[in-house]
Amino acid sequence: MHRSFLLVAALYAGAAGAQAPQTSDPNIDIRRAATLADGMVRIAVHPLSNDLYTLAIYGDLVRFAAPYSAGVTVATAAQHGLGLNVLGLAFDPTGRVFLVGNDIASQVTTSRIRRGDPDGAGGFTWSTVAELAGIPRPINFEHDLNAIVVSPDGNYLYVNRGARTDHGEVQSVGGTAPGLRETALTSLLLRIPASATNLLLPNDVAALRAGGYYFADGLRNTFDLAFDAEGRLYGTENAGDRDDGDELNWIREGLHYGFPWRIGPHATPQQFPGYNPDDDPLVNPESVAYMEGYFHDDPTYPAPPAGVTFTDPVANLGPDADRFRVEATGELMDASNAGLAAYSLTPHRSPLGLTFATDSIPGQYGQAFMLSWTAGTVASDDLLTPFSDPGEDLLELRFIAPDTIEARRIVWGFSSPMDIVDDRMYVIELGGTRGLWELHFTGGIPNEPDPSSTARLEAAPNPFDERIRITVDVARTAAYRLEMTDVLGRRVALLHDGVLAVGRHSFTTRAGALTAGTYLVRLVGPEGSSTRTVVRR
């Protein structure tokens, strides 16, 4: 989701497909709960009533009471005071609702956060929490104020103000903002007291820092935010039109996540002299940024901020959503198949909705779930298509460490899925037949390979301190290689390289000089490869 006009265009165009989402997991039941009105971009669950609320980009706030088959509009733009591009919805623990919207006048974007206090009759009384100083609107790539989440204690709002550029290029709005790239109020995460009233946020870094509002920087477009059970904040990050990786970020106060000087794992090449996009294997000539001439030699590109260390995105060990291009050659790679990590996701998947599991999700599933917007099919012919990694799906995320995940594709076939909430798991679609889908996780044992035809690999203890024992069960006598690598695929230990007989074999290795972090134990044999992730404490 690289340009806000894509949202508006999708409202009435819609995808053609009306097929229900699909899964190969027999323990996931999928039910269509309702058909949504046009333009629903957010969903949230009321913390007290368990009612579901959806938000339309044009402002309608709609309540769905159980069994969630029909919605009732409880507030409109005329009532809460936000106009087009209403993109954020969140509740605090007491049932107050917070909306985020963006108004456009004379090519200037004014963004506001509005608070709705319950009025006792099913509606809300509205007031302004904060307003951002006006920002000149670019020709392309405006990302607006969008994601909002309430801190677990209910005291603060964390709000994403996306970038106004693709990769830090000049977007001068027809000459009215000459030389303007990003501003103090773009590509960052703000922290605002939930109790604030009529707070005015200036386009000034020093003032934002002094007020405690400037939480994290260098975030191109963190379209959704969620806290995990330990209170860590994560955000889904949409990269630009170049084939850099989309990101999942563990967002911490005071850190800089690289934009526009770094996107995904790559340094933005326009900042270096002599750049030629036609020699860049990561530039797709069908992209808007290429066709509009935004990829070019850019001698006035600003230098990175002095003394700032950029923070890496979360590493993805796969097996899914982990395609990437080798920057030097453009070669397509599957990170997990190559024994590597992706940072974080296949380019152009456009991760949107993010939620962490609650007690309604059985323990054999991961700690979090993420939606991907882009179709990535031959028929869609979008920027994701060359990666052969179709999206419009739900990814299960298993956290090996706070900065390392394994991603698995467990449901697919949505039509432009926008947002997700975890209360039996509900997904809303912007396209197709605009479904509100309920995913019920019934428990049981997820699909496993046939143990008679595959090698099995175990590692314990995990995490480990000084020693770790690797146990291998092989179904046939053959040659096997057992090794340990870091997440970049560099071998740190070779445990076995030769024939293993049918049965169980154990190997113990010392941590030695290994630093604390995440490592991969990999067994390669005639059945293919098996990998386990281990963590040195």
| Cα(352)–Cα(416) distance, integer angstroms | 10
Task: Reply yes or no on whether the pLDDT at 455 is more than 80.
Answer: no
The fraction of the chain above a pLDDT of 90, given in percent, is 68
Q: What values do phi and psi take at 10, rounded to 5?
A: -75, -15
Task: Reply yes or no on whether the pLDDT at 522 is more than 90.
Answer: no
Which amino acid appears at position 489 of this protein?
G
Task: Reply yes or no on whether the pLDDT at 531 is more than 50.
Answer: yes
Token duo for residue 453: 């035809």
DSSP symbols for 151-189: -TTSSEEEEEE--SSSSS----TTTTSTT----TTSSEE
pLDDT value for 10: 46
Cis previous bond, 461, omega within 30: yes
pLDDT value for 364: 80
With cut-offs at 50, 70 and 90, classify the pLDDT of residue 17: very low
Exposed/middle/buried for 360, CB within 10 Å: 0-12, 13-18, 19+? exposed
pLDDT value for 453: 45
With cut-offs at 50, 70 and 90, classify the pLDDT of residue 518: confident
Three-state DSSP state, 290: helix
With cut-offs at 50, 70 and 90, classify the pLDDT of residue 450: very low
pLDDT value for 362: 79
324-339 burial: b if 16+ Cβ within 10 Å, else e: bbebeeeeebbbbeeb
Task: Reply yes or no on whether the pLDDT at 302 is more than 70.
Answer: yes
pLDDT value for 177: 87
Tell me the HSE value of 309 on the side-chain side, using a 13 A CA sphere: 2
Task: Reply yes or no on whether the pLDDT at 469 is more than 70.
Answer: yes
- Measured CA to CA in angstroms, residue 51 lies from 8, 68, 286 at distances of 27, 8, 43
With cut-offs at 50, 70 and 90, classify the pLDDT of residue 528: low
With tokens 């999700």, the residue in question is 361
pLDDT value for 525: 78
| Cα(303)–Cα(289) distance, integer angstroms | 21
| Cα(379)–Cα(17) distance, integer angstroms | 12
| Cα(277)–Cα(166) distance, integer angstroms | 14
Three-state DSSP state, 474: strand
Which of 7-21, 63-77, 236-250, 338-352 has the lowest average pLDDT? Answer: 7-21
Mean pLDDT of 164-186: 91
Please give the model's pTM, rounded to 2 decimal places.
Answer: 0.83
| 101 or 361, which is more confident | 101
pLDDT value for 242: 97
Report the chain's mean pLDDT, rounded to a whole number: 90
pLDDT value for 18: 55
Beta strands in 228-320 (DSSP E): 233-237, 247-251, 262-263, 266-267, 315-316
pLDDT value for 375: 93
What are the structural domains, with CATH classification, of the chain?
4-441 (2.120.10.30), 456-536 (2.60.40.2550)
| 448 or 48, which is more confident | 48
Mean pLDDT of 30-41: 94
pLDDT value for 476: 79
Which amino acid appears at position 236 of this protein?
T
pLDDT value for 490: 78
pLDDT value for 446: 45
| Cα(292)–Cα(241) distance, integer angstroms | 11
Q: Which of 149, 57, 166 is nearest to 102 (CA)?
A: 57
Task: Reply yes or no on whether the pLDDT at 452 is more than 70.
Answer: no
| 384 or 480, which is more confident | 384
Which of 63-77, 382-396, 416-430 has the lowest average pLDDT? Answer: 416-430
Mean pLDDT of 450-472: 75
338-378 residue pLDDT tens: 889 999 999 999 999 999 988 778 778 889 999 999 999 88
- In this structure, the dihedral spanned by the alpha carbons of residues 376, 378, 382 and 384, taken in order and rounded to 10 degrees, is 40
For residue 38, what is the enclosing H or E element? Answer: none
